[in-house]
Amino acid sequence: MDSIQNHILFLKENRKLVLFFYIQQSFNQQKMKQLTAMVLFCTFVLSYGQRPPKDIPQEVLEAIKTEVWIPFMEAYDQSDSQKLKSIHTQDIFRVTQDQNQVETGESYLEEFGDFVETVKTRGSQIGIAFAIRSTALNDAGDMAYQTGYYRFSSKRSDDESLVVRGYGEFNVGLRKENGTWKIWLDADKHIQLSPEDFNAEEILYELGKS
């Protein structure tokens, strides 16, 4: 009994010391939790940052080239609206960045098709070429994302051949439908680019040279 009373007396006489000890213990526990969280976060960041870029199989690049980019260039060259529509999904999401405009689905495809048909009606000709800068692929291998440049050309009544009219930068999302790659997201904008910079890209797609 005396020991209990002595203990109570000690606590009363040293309340500040006990309170300080309690606060210090709580503070140390909180700091330890923060330190542990910081260590875990740094470990995650370092391990994630050290992950090497995914290797994109050459056969995937070739399939996208064959099923999307070559028909795209042919559709321009031949003013073929049906071929142009066929390389897009029915739920296409189109972003014209220069105009802050979004278009989707069948209405966009009809408008795009009308554009190339009008070129044919006027007796003119258009052309397009692509420089692929990057490709990303999901683990299933059925969705991809590509960025790059395009070069737009046209031939007017007073031109002897196609003349380069300008360059642009694009981002496209692609997915497989019934085993065939198609564009479901297409965003682009006009940019200032020299022919040298365009031709310096490693992956170039041009009709007759691809």
In this structure, are 29 and 100 located in the same domain? Answer: no
Computed over every residue of the chain, the mean pLDDT equals 86
Distance CA 199, CA 129 (A): 10
Answer with the one of 27, 49, 71 that is the final residue of a domain: 49
- pLDDT tens string 170-180: 999 999 999 99
* Dihedral angle computed from the Cα positions of residues 164, 201, 68 and 181, in that order, rounded to the nearest 10 degrees: -160
Angle at 170 (CA atoms; ends 164, 173), nearest 5 degrees: 140
In this structure, are 17 and 117 located in the same domain? Answer: no
DSSP 156: -
The per-residue pLDDT for 188 is 98
Task: Assign 45 a pLDDT band (cuts: 50, 70, 90).
Answer: very low
- pLDDT tens string 121-143: 998 999 999 999 999 999 999 99
In this structure, are 100 and 184 located in the same domain? Answer: yes
- CATH code of the domain containing 67: 3.10.450.50
Domain span holding position 28: 2-49
The per-residue pLDDT for 11 is 47
Distance CA 52, CA 54 (A): 6
Q: Is the pLDDT of residue 21 over 60?
A: no
- pLDDT tens string 95-109: 999 999 999 999 999
The per-residue pLDDT for 26 is 54
Q: Kindly state whether residue 102 falls inside one of the protein's structural domains.
A: yes
In this structure, are 18 and 110 located in the same domain? Answer: no
- pLDDT tens string 47-57: 555 678 889 99
CA distances from 26 to 12, 23, 37, 55, 116 (A): 21, 5, 17, 49, 73
In this structure, are 16 and 99 located in the same domain? Answer: no
User: What's the mean pLDDT in 113-121?
Assistant: 94
In this structure, are 164 and 83 located in the same domain? Answer: yes
In this structure, are 39 and 106 located in the same domain? Answer: no
Q: Is the pLDDT of residue 93 over 60?
A: yes
The per-residue pLDDT for 52 is 81
3-state helix, strand, coil in the chain (%, to 5): 45, 35, 20
Distance CA 113, CA 126 (A): 13
Domain count for the chain, please give it.
2
Q: Kindly state whether residue 111 falls inside one of the protein's structural domains.
A: yes
The per-residue pLDDT for 208 is 81
